[in-house]
């Protein structure tokens, strides 16, 4: 798997100029990209700490203007440094860094082209992946489905890193901010890295909840109606502190 560990440190520049990008992607890293990269690395490490991915099996991206900063392929997140900043334009051409972007770049770019997403988180979370093998849609087991726009669909299986997978994902994401990928994992997006990550974590939690409730012999979990989920979604839009 292209997402498996593959050390690419030998292609990183040896100089101290962390903000100098070597040819042929020769442009300097902007201040806002430096800050965004720090946030991306912190979020990627959090997916490992919180058990949403194992090793380098997921990926994270954040959009800064017309540049998408994304985790590189096969580099453990605890080894990423400011010198590893990896960025592409919306057509997938590398504009920052020497490392190869994640193999799942087509999914990330498809979301940025089709939505107003500011960040994307892709995981291989175990409970969500298990659910993706069982049903075409996560049953409405909790009102937090509303935070993702409604019932969470499962995108049909396609080989990782392909345009087919990206297209399947986009169909499943219609009017949603997250979906399951059959026999693969999850993908969520948001206006910020924190929002995209929180949606990924909530999706994994709901999948675990449904698997737990549905495993009780002789009992069937009660589910919410579409109307109840939609009502919760409306309330959740105004949830939290206003600044």
Question: Mind telling me the catalytic residues?
Answer: 104
d(CA 197, CA 60) in angstroms, rounded, equals 9
List residues bridging with 188 in a β-sheet: 121, 178
242, 90 Cβ separation under 8 angstroms:
no
> What are the strands, taking DSSP E only, across the chain?
59-64, 67-70, 87-89, 94-96, 119-123, 137-138, 152-155, 178-181, 185-190
Is it true that the peptide bond before 24 is cis, omega within 30 degrees of 0? yes
List residues bridging with 153 in a β-sheet: 137
Question: How many CB atoms sit inside 10 A of residue 189's CB?
Answer: 26
């Amino acid at each position: 798997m292209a997402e498996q560990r593959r050390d690419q440190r030998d292609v990183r520049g040896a100089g101290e100029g962390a903000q100098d990008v070597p040819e042929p992607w020769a442009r300097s890293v902007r201040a806002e990209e430096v800050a965004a990269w720090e946030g991306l690395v912190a979020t990627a490490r959090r997916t490992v700490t919180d058990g949403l991915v194992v090793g380098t099996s997921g990926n994270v991206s954040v959009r800064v203007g017309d540049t998408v900063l994304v985790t590189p392929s096969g580099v453990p997140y605890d080894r990423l440094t400011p010198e590893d900043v990896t960025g592409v334009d919306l057509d997938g051409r590398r504009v920052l860094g020497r490392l190869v972007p994640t193999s799942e770049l087509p999914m990330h770019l498809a979301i940025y082209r089709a939505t107003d997403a500011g960040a994307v988180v892709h995981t291989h979370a175990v409970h969500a992946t298990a659910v993706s093998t069982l049903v075409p849609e996560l049953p409405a087991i909790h009102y937090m489905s509303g935070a993702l726009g409604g019932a969470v669909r499962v995108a049909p299986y396609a080989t990782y890193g392909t345009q087919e997978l990206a297209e399947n994902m986009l169909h499943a994401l219609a009017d949603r901010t997250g979906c399951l990928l059959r026999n693969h994992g999850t993908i969520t997006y948001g206006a910020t890295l924190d929002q995209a990550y929180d949606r990924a974590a909530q999706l994994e939690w709901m999948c675990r909840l449904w698997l737990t409730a549905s495993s009780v012999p002789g009992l069937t979990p009660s589910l919410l109606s579409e109307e109840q989920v939609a009502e919760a979604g409306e309330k959740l839009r105004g949830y939290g502190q206003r600044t």
